[in-house]
Structure formats: structure tokens, C-alpha cells
Structure 1
Amino acid sequence: MNLHAAVPLPAAAHDTSAPSDRGYEERVHRFGDGLVGVATLPAGRAPRATALILLNAGLVHRMGPFRLYVQMARRLAAEGYVVLRFDQSGLGDSPLSSQHSDNRKRDEVRAAMALLEREAGVRRFVLGGICSGADDSFNIAPLEPRVAGLVLLDGVSYRTRGHKLRHYLPRLLNPLRVLRALWRRLVPRREPPRAVGNDDLRDFPTRDEASRRLLALDARGCQVLLLYTGGVASYHNHRRQALEAFGPVMRSSNMATEYWPECDHTFYVRRHREKLFACLQDWMQARFPD
């Protein structure tokens, strides 16, 4: 069997087609090296020229945290955009790849783009996702000229001087916190195991390399949305921090940043999801109207 051809999965697959009167329809595909994904397409109309590809958030199935990707795909498809959410190798319903490659993630995205070009006729793509999905998108985009946009939800950023001031100054002005910190230093106790932190889990390039990537993406006209929530306050805690971290490139009209401290990392609260969907719809329609 040609694994690069799109083939429907059996009826027992997790995702099923939705009625077209909702403004979208869904098709399940197996493509590439056994990858499984769901393409959500506009119903009853020709799709727009740009498609969104959503990459797994950590180890979460292609549905996204609490089905966030499903809802996002359907909202955007109803506006005319094709959206593919697929399981990368070894995640969800996609088996671990049989081929070892340093470029595996890039190859999988290229297979996803080939699928959408063949199935929907789109040749321009936006990559995106939450957390590691944002990291993978940011790492792949500079290598793929067909990537015209990035949606980075709680993606790359760095602890700047401003971040440290905003983080530590309120604590220093709180006498109770200061006393607790002094007590922990003065009273000997067994050290607890080191907690696993952001630096252990994320795939960020160096800060200089990230800035160079953004400059290169800006030069080729790539549209970038960086949206941060209160869920990543450990490394990003202000609406101007992207400018602090990456410099003047963030003043480009191709770059858009948002900071929503009231939202959690997975947009669990319904009104926060509605805010996210509205933001994405507005951004996609403004940057990719065709």
C-alpha cells in the first residue's frame, strides 16, 4: 500500500464526519509513514487558499487539550479555512515511525502539506499549536517556504530583565514572603527533589537564534501570532515581553503579540476559548483573506 496516499480509516476511528449543514465537514486520513489525521473543510464552498496545520500539544491526542483543536478547527472551517490536526509519530493513533531521521518532524509536516494540497488544492500553510506544538512549528517554519504563518500559543519566549523585576519585586515588597524565604535559609532541612520545570520540557532555540529566525521569517513576509497566557508566567509575564526578548523585529506589521494573564495554558474556561477563537478568526481573516 502506498502510505503517502490518503486513505480513509475504518468506521471505528475516533473521529467521524460532521453534518455539512454546520458549515464544515471532516475527513479522516492516513498519510505519510502511517500518520493519522483529521482534515476539517468548509462545506458547500471552495476553501480559502491558506490552510492551518495543528501539531500535538505535548503527548495529547490530536483533539488537543479538552478538545480545543477540534473546536478551533470547526470554527475556522466554517469561515472557509481548511484545518488539519494530526498525530505526530508515536502520539495518539499514529504508530511510532519505522524510519529513523533527524528531520522526522519536518518530514511529517511536509507529508501533511502534500495531503492538503492533493485533497483541497491549498498551497500555503499556517503552522501552529500549544506548548510543544508551538515549539515544533517554530522550529520547522524557517525550513519550509510554503509556511506563510505561525500561531504560537504559549510558545517561545525568554526570561528578560523586565520579567525578573515583575516576578521578584512584588515578592520582595511582601514582608510575609520575605520572612518565609529567610526562614527556609536559616532552618536546615532536607532538600526536596528538584521539580521538573519549563527548561526541561520545551524545545526552545537560544535567544539569539530565536531572534534571527523571527528576522528571517519577517523578511519573507511570514505572519506570526505569539499569544501567551498566565499559564506560562514562569517565563513570560507581560504584553511587552516579546519586544524585550526579541527586539525591534516585534514592531514589524508581520508580527502580532497577545498576553492574556487571566487564561490558563489549556484555555479550559469556555469564555477564554471563545476569546481565543475570535482572535484566531480575526487574525486569519486579516492576514489570509483569500
Structure 2
Amino acid sequence: MSYTEETTSFACEGERLVGILNQPDTPAQTGVVVVVGGPQYRAGSHRQFVLLARALADAGFAVLRFDYRGMGDSEGQPRQFDAVSADIAAAIDALQQRVASLQQVVLWGLCDGASAALLYCFESNDPRVTGLCLLNPWVRSEASLARTQIKHYYTQRLMQKAFWQKLLSGRMALAALSDLTDNIRLSTSGSGWLRTEKQSFQQSMALGLQRFNGPILLLLSGDDYVAKEFLEYVNTDAAWKDAWAHAHLQRHSLPEVDHTCSSAASRQWVEQLTLDWLTQQAATPQRSQEAMTA
């Protein structure tokens, strides 16, 4: 299907955000807002977003990808992923205004973009959002990082002959051994700095997922410490128990795929999984236009 690709700008709390809209000639009733993560080189994850948007638009889905306030060409002060809900809401408004046939929106996010999407659902319960596609969500904490490093790095190192040769020859730096003992201590200390009176962003993400009534596509790369850390976190944190059992959660593991799906085969795999899932959701009766604009 033919489509246009053009820049667009829209307001968010008095500041101008800049995005790229891919709009098919005959768009589906479901649109996609790509929630980007932190600053990246243009040939990394942002190139993935470009190709994803074009693939989805070619299949008939309107796609808006944009820069938060303080990022790229958008105005405002830089902000962290846990403070961009207003930006996401403004992007949904913009997509809805520019695509008249739109009846529901899916949020698609990578890394802290996926985390921001869940936080948006927790904070807003926006009825316009009827689906989530999450690739390698970010749940970083000291304890979860330590557990991940021990399980997926140090355990592997202990099986290597070169490791023991360095250790026995005295060529292993004391700092390396100190890092290992620190990680062991942190991995058994619960959530570390997260044990505060304020609810952590990881807990808010879990609640956002629990409360979300729509379908969720979760993609986890096999060759990615962020994805491994996510699995470690959700399997050990009580707040994620109910979230992990979400009735409409569809999960796919992607062996040998890295964090940003940097190879052509990886990108195409993610594009196809996303497209298949979107097509399935588009064929399912969704909320009415009145609910979307309520």
C-alpha cells in the first residue's frame, strides 16, 4: 500500500514536539505511536524505528514516531523516561487529529520507551490505548543488575579455562574480584535503593500492566542483558507476579537477537511479529470512537 512520510509538529504543555508521520492512503482504524527510548545514534535503534514505521505503513497502519521534550528537534528541557506521560498523550492527540479514521492506538516501545508506555498506562488509564507492544523493557536496579551479571556473565566466566589461568597466575585484577563480591552482596539484598517510601518506577510499571485490559505483545531478545535483567526482575519481584500472568499477554523470545535488533534478519523478525499481532488485533472488535474521545 502506498503511504506518505512527512514531518509534523504539535504542542505539549506549551512546547513544540517534532515527529514523523507515516500515513497510508487508506489507513486502518488502529494507529501506532512509537515511544522512543533515550538518545541513540541514528543507525541504531532509531533506524529500526524508521524501518518499522515504513513496514507498518506499507501494511496500512498509520505510525507516528516523535521526540520527547528536550530530545532531538523538540523544544523543552531534557527529561527521563518516567516523566514523559504528557508527551505521549500529546502524540496520541496529534495522531488522532491527523488520521480521521483512527479509532484506537497501540503504543510500541523499546527499552525505556517500553517502560514509559507502561508508566503512561499506569498514570492515565487512557481509553484510546487498546494495545501495547513492548521490546526489552527497562527495569534497572542495583539488585537486578547484580543478579543478571552473576547468572549470565560470571557463571559463564567460571566455566572458562582462561579465567582460572588468570586467577591462578595472579593476573586477575583485585578490582575484578571486588566487583564480583559486590554483585553477590547486591544480588541478595532485595531491591537495594528501591526500598524507599516512594513507589518505584518498576512497581508502577507492574501496576500499569496489571490494570491494562488490552492485548500486550512482549518481545525479549536472547542476546541482551536488558532483556535478561527484565526476566530476573519479574521472576523475583512480588509486584510483578500478577502482571506476569496477564490474560492477554503474548510473549516471544528472540534467540540470538541483540538489544536493538541490529541485523536485517532481526529487524524483519520484529516487524513481522508486530505486524501479525497488529493484524490480529485489528480483526478483533475494539472500543468505540465515543470511548476513544471520552
Normalised TM-score (structure 2): 0.70
Change (3 A) 1:211 1:95: closer
Task: Name which of 252, 268, 272 aligns with 1:274.
Answer: 268
Q: 1:27 aligned to 2:6?
A: yes
1:276 is displaced (CA, Å) by 0.8
Residue type at the aligned position of 2:105: F
Comparing 138-147 with 227-236, which one deviates more in the overlay?
227-236
Q: Give yes or no for contact 2:121–2:209 (8 Å, CA) kept in 1.
A: no
1:287 is displaced (CA, Å) by 2.2
Q: 1:96 aligned to 2:76?
A: yes
Aligned position for 1:3: none
Aligned position for 1:147: 129
Aligned position for 1:111: 90
Q: 1:53 aligned to 2:45?
A: no
Q: 1:260 aligned to 2:246?
A: no
SS for the counterpart of 1:126 is: strand
Q: 1:137 aligned to 2:117?
A: yes
Residue type at the aligned position of 1:28: T
Change (3 A) 1:279 1:112: same
Q: Which ranges of structure 1 fall in alignment gaps of 5 or more residues?
A: 1-21, 194-198
Q: Give yes or no for contact 1:27–1:39 (8 Å, CA) kept in 2.
A: yes
Change (3 A) 1:255 1:161: farther
> Distance in 2 between the 1:209 and 1:244 partners?
16
Residue type at the aligned position of 2:265: R
Matches within 5 A, 1:65-80: 65=45, 67-80=47-60
SS for the counterpart of 2:259 is: coil
Q: Which has the higher contact order (CA 8 A, sep 6+)?
A: 2
Identity among equivalent pairs (%): 24
Q: Indicate the RMSD between aligned Cα atoms, in angstroms.
A: 4.0
Q: Give yes or no for contact 1:57–1:131 (8 Å, CA) kept in 2.
A: yes
**1:24-58: per-residue Cα shift (whole Å, max 9, x none)?**
21232111121111111112x2x222211112231
